[in-house]
A and B are shown apart, each in its own frame.
Chain A
Amino acid sequence: MHIVISGRGTVWPDPVPQAHTPPSGPAFTVGSFDGEALLGRRTAQYNHRSAQLAMVACGRALDDAGLEVTDENRDRIGVTLGTAAGSVTGMVEFGMDTFSQPRPHMVAAAKSSHCVLSSPAGAAAITYGLRGANATVASGPATGLAVLRHAVVILRAGHADAVLAGASEEFTGPTSWLARTARGEQVQGEGAAAFVLEGRESARAAGRKALAAVAAVDVRAVPGFSAGQFAESVARTLGRAGVSAPDVSAVAFRHTGVAEVDEAQHSGLARALPGAAQVTDEKRIGDCYSAHALLQLAGLLDEAALPAVVVAADPDGLLSVAVLNGVPE
């Protein structure tokens, strides 16, 4: 079964980074984002910023695909969203009351779902009426590609006919303090990207244009990072996708902030894909961490730079490679 992308939705950060008060640093933020206006006051009140960003991207992807959700198809449309660790800010906003209130259980009930990593996927399902397979994937900076992989497996196994696959990253107080501590002083970013994935025949039958084929996605634990490791992973995934290296027009990746990993990544990708343009997007969106790979994918689709490879390495020990291919009309 060939899986294609038939819709994309994005929430891009503003193109110029803004300064923020320490312990936050400068960041590319979605300055004009108004969850209340976009999703309604009630939805905005129950959901943290990560969830709101993801939900808006999901809505835009459905619109872009022209996929109308009806009683006939809602049971067969799934949602897979990605996150690194949920909304840390959402958890802190909820949990601070356990320390500051007279009794620790006097917390805001409406924010209790902030403690659950999967709350954005459930909220997106409620907002758009999607009753199919619903899941959340957490794989650090490889999250976006893991989301694609999950959606592909769910579609191939016949659990759903279409999957909204997306990831978001928020720039808010505690989340940004944490990111700066864990990943160094890179300029952070926030945003979201979501895609409608479905079988090629399903898209064709419904008259939806396939923007790209998700030809192969590989997400695996690695014992360490070397140039050879990157080159082999790319070569293996290209092999599974049936795409030859000289045909690849662009390879998108993210700097991890760990010097040895980034050196291995640079030389490994140059070795595996000598003719491909290298894209990091960091000067345009900062480091959007768990949403970075999918925002990059959206950018590659905008530029019609196919076939393309997206790579995401997590220095904790995860390496992920996706190969996107063009789909003949």
Chain B
Amino acid sequence: MVVAVHRVVITGLGPVSSIGIGADGFSHAVRMGKSGISRISSFDVSGFEHQMAGEVADFDAAELVTRLNVADWGRASLFAASAARLAADDAGLQDFGDDTAVLMGTTSGEIPNVVAMTESWHLNGPAAPDPALAAQLPAGRLALAAAQEIGATGETMTFSAACAAANCAIGYAYDLVSSGEVPVAVAGGADAVSRFTHAAFNRLGALAKDTCRPFDRDRDGMLTAEGGAALVLETLESAVGRGARIYAEILGYAVSCDAYHPSAPEPKSIARTMDTALRRSGVTPDEVDYICAHGTGTRLNDRVEAQAIRSVYGEAAPSVSSLKSMLGHTMGAASGFGSIACALAVSRGFIPPTINHRHPDPELDGIDPVAGTTREATVRVAQNNAFGFGGNNAIVLFGSAPCTS
């Protein structure tokens, strides 16, 4: 294994979520256990069996971005760019150039544009699509939007790893910064609520009727959601050199694939990924105080995730909570929000709650879901889990800011 030459720290957070926009707004909302779930308004949801989602109803990209022409970009790209702008400002960085990498993850890119084209083909038959919709569609534009918004001209890529995409992007950014390829990277993920994604999860029987209750005995599924999340990663030397506020250190990460089933998770493979992430980070299980779960709220995910956690951590599993109880499942952005929550947990000393949790599930014995309200606690190490369709797993570990005085 290649030895990291630089320690990598988080110096900026950029959440664009249904419960709060910007680091402080988001932090406050997570502490309060706010819900971002509402009836879908971005498309006609009237015929659907399930109608609730986590839309960022008040998202106005024009108020957040300073350089992009909003009309040129799709919703997911604007989430990515807005998140990158917020993260850059939060880090106090202005001059990005050739040595800033920008990596964004997504599950479905600008899929709302495909929905609009499909509707027009449904109504009018085959024809050339609307040129504006077509021009916005390439998924590579998510990272490009973020790079152009902050003026970065370094390595720029958009990743997908289904719903583990942001962790893949953050992990890749960690590799670039820790190996000395670049001193600064902006990484995260973005996705937009869409009719097709909603229909897919509805058809698979994965959607909750109205409330997402991860780890609850009566949980009945996930809710589709959207948003953008970005973090600024930089070398410890760079952060200390410019006197930046350090939220947390990235200790390491692991990626793997179940190679088992197109949509169902597999506990052994997830446990293997946790083991690898801990080993690569030089962390032992007893040092981990918080696991930010993938925690979708489906019967299967939460059971498999709990099983994997118990197999790695034994009886002494740390607290496990799910942001999806508040946000719904923001797809490619989800592990970006999880990473932001982990950075806040270690820097501000709290463990986010799993809201809507009413009854412990005897099948999930040994899992403490931090039910209902935030817990004030010292978090030395936080683990951020992300699993996706296709068997993609990506787990990132965050530690408290290194003592630099």
- Which residues of A does B touch, CB under 8 Å? 1, 23, 46, 74-75, 78-79, 83-86, 88, 91-92, 94-100, 103-109, 112-113, 115-119, 121-123, 125-126, 128-140, 142-143, 146, 149-150, 153-154, 156-159, 173-174, 177-178, 180-182, 218-223, 314, 316-318
Contact = CB atoms under 8 A, between A and B. Distances in A.
Interface in B171-209: 172, 175-176, 179, 181, 194-204
A126 B262 contact: yes
A182 B137 contact: yes
A219 B110 contact: no
Contacts of B98: 220
Contacts of A132: 256-257
B257 A131 contact: yes
B160 A113 contact: no
Interface in B311-347: none
Contact of B155 (A79, A97, A125, A220): A220
6 contacts: A83-B139, A100-B122, A121-B161, A131-B259, A139-B140, A316-B141
A125 B391 contact: yes
Contact of B138 (A79, A157, A316): A316
Nearest to A84: B138
A148 to B, nearest CB: 12
A62 B156 CA distance: 29
A126 B269 CA distance: 13
Contacts of B50: 105
A119 B390 contact: yes
Contact of B49 (A83, A105, A153): A105
Q: Is the interface of B mostly helix, strand, loop or mixed?
A: mixed
Given A138-B138, A138-B158, A138-B160, A157 B389 contact: no
Given A75-B256, A135-B161, 20 more contacts: A74-B259, A85-B109, A95-B196, A96-B118, A106-B203, A109-B204, A112-B201, A121-B392, A122-B257, A130-B257, A135-B172, A136-B160, A138-B140, A143-B140, A153-B172, A178-B134, A182-B134, A221-B102, A222-B153, A317-B147
B134 A221 contact: no
Contact of A84 (B111, B139, B203): B139
B225 interface: no
**Which bucket holds chain B's interface residue count?**
35 or more
Given A115-B108, A116-B108, A181-B128, A153 B159 contact: no
A92 B390 contact: no
Given A91-B111, A91-B118, A86 B139 contact: yes
B156 A221 contact: yes
A129 B115 CA distance: 33
B135 A182 contact: yes
Contacts, number: 277
Contact of A116 (B141, B159, B272, B389): B389
Contact of B389 (A91, A118, A174, A314): A118
Contact of B1 (A75, A125, A158, A218): A158
A23 B124 CA distance: 13
Contact of B172 (A95, A122, A150, A182): A150
B119 interface: yes
Contact of B114 (A91, A106, A159): A91
Given A126-B259, A140-B140, A113 B159 contact: no
Contacts of A177: 126-129
Interface in B68-107: 98, 102, 106-107
B388 interface: yes
Contacts of A128: 259
B262 A117 contact: no
B391 A220 contact: no
B153 A135 contact: no
A54 B2 CA distance: 30
Contacts of A74: 259
A134 B263 contact: no
A318 B137 contact: no
Contact of A126 (B126, B135, B197, B391): B391
B243 interface: no
B144 A318 contact: yes
Given A88-B137, A115-B200, A182 B131 contact: yes
A106 B199 CA distance: 8
A182 to B, nearest CB: 4
Contacts of B117: 88, 92, 174, 178
A113 B157 contact: no
A131 B162 contact: no
Contacts of B199: 95, 97-98, 104-105, 107
Given A95-B114, A136-B159, A113 B172 contact: no
Residue among B118, B175, B179, B198 with the highest chain A CB neighbour number at 10 A: B118
A85 B110 contact: yes
Contacts of A134: 161, 255-257, 390-392
Nearest to B332: A117
Contacts of B179: 156-157
Given A131-B258, A138-B139, A220 B154 contact: yes
A177 B125 CA distance: 12
A92 B256 CA distance: 29
Contacts of B122: 96, 99-100
